[in-house]
């Protein structure tokens, strides 16, 4: 089934993800898909959480950290700035501390803790995940095209929802159990209950957001995931392993897009030996792709003569992927 047919037969799948090993064309495919859908009159947001990818370069427009930026009619693009979200998170913590304890300013030892906590390696991933939650539960667009980070990190992001939810469940249960053993004077107890209620309310709020995003990313009726592959041995091995892991997180796989296929027609011309050998090698792995992924292969995209940057090249790629 072609890419166009997949979209036409599943208009309810509004959350589209392109993933795969780094440097295979995920970002360009995301941009081209967003362009094609926007050209069909759909309101589309394409967004990236991969710091190595650059929708800014592809669209030739500075969009990093600026929120949704309009590219053309019906099409917006967004690149998430993790540092910006971490700073916003820090400010939110400071405000809550000032409000809860009535301080005029955050004490130095607490400020040092906030700075140290924000330097944790997981903080960047958490900030990006939180930004993605804001985007996907917004519901402002007809389609959300999600340019995922490379496979290893993508699995981490997709697992974060379940990890967070389990953690929050445990913390909430512990806090509720603590109430049963409180033996304080009535005034102190009332203050404690008020504080506990605030914490539990915050935890429930976080859980609601996480569950909302998790249900979207794993909803077989609303979401579709495309693996981007190229006809090379290691890529195919890694992709097959990743597909098994994605299945464990219930991510609905819509298909596979094969990129950088050297046209076989070149064999009829006088071409260098290395290029002939490359085509023959690709033939071997294209057969393997057909055997392994079968009818899930949605498109073959040829090796292009230049990089996909600017709307004209994006349009050309969209026509290759979806037809004129």
pLDDT tens digits, 59-83: 999 998 899 999 999 999 999 887 7
Give the pLDDT confidence score for residue 219 in this predicted structure: 80
52-82 as b/e: b if 16+ CB within 10 A = ebbbbebbebebbeeebbebeebbbbbbbbb
Superfamily of the domain at 3-83+132-154+220-322 = P-loop containing nucleotide triphosphate hydrolases (3.40.50.300)
Give the pLDDT confidence score for residue 252 in this predicted structure: 84
Phi/psi at 299 (5° precision): -165, 150
Nearest to 61 by CA among 49, 69, 53: 69
Tell me the whole-structure pTM to 2 decimals: 0.80
Nearest to 29 by CA among 254, 243, 250: 254
Phi/psi at 294 (5° precision): 55, -130
Give the pLDDT confidence score for residue 183 in this predicted structure: 47
Phi/psi at 306 (5° precision): -150, 165
Give the pLDDT confidence score for residue 1 in this predicted structure: 78
Give the pLDDT confidence score for residue 181 in this predicted structure: 58
Cα 66 from Cα 157, distance rounded (Å): 22
* List of the chain residues with pLDDT < 50: 183-187
Give the pLDDT confidence score for residue 86 in this predicted structure: 77
Give the pLDDT confidence score for residue 144 in this predicted structure: 95
Q: Is 277 exposed, middle or buried (0-12, 13-18, 19+ CB in 10 A)?
A: exposed
Give the pLDDT confidence score for residue 46 in this predicted structure: 97
What are the sequence ranges of the domains in the chain? 3-83+132-154+220-322
Cα torsion angle, 188, 194, 195, 196, sign: positive
């Amino acid at each position: 089934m072609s890419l166009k047919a997949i979209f036409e037969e599943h208009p309810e799948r509004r959350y589209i993800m392109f993933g795969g090993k780094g440097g295979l064309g995920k970002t360009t495919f995301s941009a081209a898909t967003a362009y094609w859908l926007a050209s069909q009159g759909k309101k589309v947001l394409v967004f990236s959480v991969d710091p190595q990818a650059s929708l800014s370069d592809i669209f030739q427009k500075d969009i990093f950290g600026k929120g949704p930026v309009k590219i053309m009619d019906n099409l917006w693009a967004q690149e998430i700035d993790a540092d910006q979200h971490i700073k916003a998170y820090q400010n939110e913590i400071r405000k809550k501390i000032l409000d809860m304890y009535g301080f005029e300013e955050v004490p130095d030892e607490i400020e040092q803790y906030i700075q140290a906590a924000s330097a944790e390696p997981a903080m960047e991933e958490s900030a990006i995940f939180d930004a993605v939650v804001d985007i996907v539960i917004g519901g402002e667009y007809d389609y959300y095209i999600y340019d995922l980070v490379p496979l290893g990190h993508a699995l981490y992001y997709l697992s974060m929802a379940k990890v967070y939810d389990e953690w929050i469940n445990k913390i909430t249960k512990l806090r509720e159990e603590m109430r049963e053993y409180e033996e304080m004077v009535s005034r102190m107890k009332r203050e404690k209950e008020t504080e506990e209620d605030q914490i539990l309310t915050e935890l429930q709020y976080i859980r609601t957001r996480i569950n909302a995003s998790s249900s979207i990313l794993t909803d077989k009726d609303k979401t579709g995931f495309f693996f981007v592959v190229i006809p090379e041995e290691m890529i195919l091995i890694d992709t097959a392993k990743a597909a098994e892991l994605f299945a464990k997180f219930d991510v609905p796989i819509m298909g596979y897009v094969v990129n950088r296929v050297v046209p076989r027609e070149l064999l009829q011309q006088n071409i260098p030996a290395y290029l002939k050998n490359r085509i023959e090698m690709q033939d071997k792995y294209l057969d393997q792709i057909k055997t392994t992924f079968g009818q899930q292969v949605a498109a073959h995209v040829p090796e292009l003569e230049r990089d996909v940057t600017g709307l004209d090249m994006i349009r050309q790629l969209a026509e290759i992927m979806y037809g004129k």
